[in-house]
């Protein structure tokens, strides 16, 4: 079973969360219109987007910091976890981290894409 250094996995997850925070912030700017600011439901929706952005950004920083504190040599098998991912692009990005780690540790491995 292929393993991945835990610090590498955590950094990949932090990057994914950071990208989601940026996307949420972009959505916030798209829906934030002055003329609708008097609608309480609209205000709550905009506040939820802002809160989601902050949570994603905070989680990204947290996961990254945990990864930096993870001891060298700690690895985790990600195969079963990858099988739970249904979004093909996300699965590819998470699996790419695994492939890149294997390539970094094996000078004889050539990847063709």
In this model, does residue 41 exceed pLDDT 90?
Answer: no
User: Between residues 51 and 39, which one has the greater pLDDT?
Assistant: 51
Quick one: tokens of 41? 């439901």
* pLDDT tens readout for residues 1-40: 567 889 999 999 999 999 999 998 888 777 776 656 677 8
- This prediction has a pTM of 0.73
The string of DSSP codes covering 35-53 is GGTT-HHHHHHHHHHHHHH
List CB contacts of 109: < 8 A, sequence separation 6 or more: 102, 103
């Amino acid at each position: 079973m292929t393993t991945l250094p835990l610090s590498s996995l955590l950094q990949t997850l932090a990057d994914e969360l950071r990208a989601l925070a940026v996307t949420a912030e972009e959505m916030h700017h798209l829906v934030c219109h002055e003329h609708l600011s008097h609608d309480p439901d609209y205000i709550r929706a905009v506040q939820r987007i802002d809160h989601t952005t902050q949570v994603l950004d905070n989680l990204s920083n947290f996961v990254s910091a945990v990864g930096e504190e993870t001891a060298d040599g700690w690895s985790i098998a990600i195969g079963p976890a990858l099988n739970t991912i249904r979004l093909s692009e996300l699965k590819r990005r998470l699996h790419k981290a695994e492939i890149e780690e294997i390539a970094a540790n094996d000078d004889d491995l050539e990847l063709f894409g």
